[in-house]
């Protein structure tokens, strides 16, 4: 598993927590930061998945 997938998942989780805390406390800034972090984590996770696919394809063709 690519490190980007691991880091992306961690960022998604942290973003979800921030977003939830922001909602509960009425802190719109924290909620927005959490949402942004969550989206960035999803993108990073996708990039890691693409890297994994490329690595697997390269191994298969070897």
Tokens matching residue 24 = 């509960």
Residue 61: its pLDDT value, please?
82
Neighbours of 34 (CB within 10 A): 21
Residue 2: its pLDDT value, please?
82
Here the contacts of 28-36 (C-beta below 8 Å, separation 24 or greater) are none
Burial of residue 41, with CB atoms counted within 10 A of its CB: 0-12 exposed, 13-18 middle, 19 or more buried: buried
Ranges in the chain, pLDDT < 70: none
Do the beta carbons of residue 59 and residue 14 sit within 8 Å? Answer: no
Q: pTM for the whole thing?
A: 0.82
């Amino acid at each position: 598993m690519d490190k980007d997938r691991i880091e992306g998942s961690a960022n998604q989780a942290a973003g979800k927590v921030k977003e939830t805390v922001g909602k509960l406390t009425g802190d719109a800034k924290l909620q927005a930061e959490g949402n942004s972090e969550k989206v960035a984590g999803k993108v990073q996770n996708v990039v890691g998945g693409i890297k994994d696919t490329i690595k697997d394809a390269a191994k298969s063709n070897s």
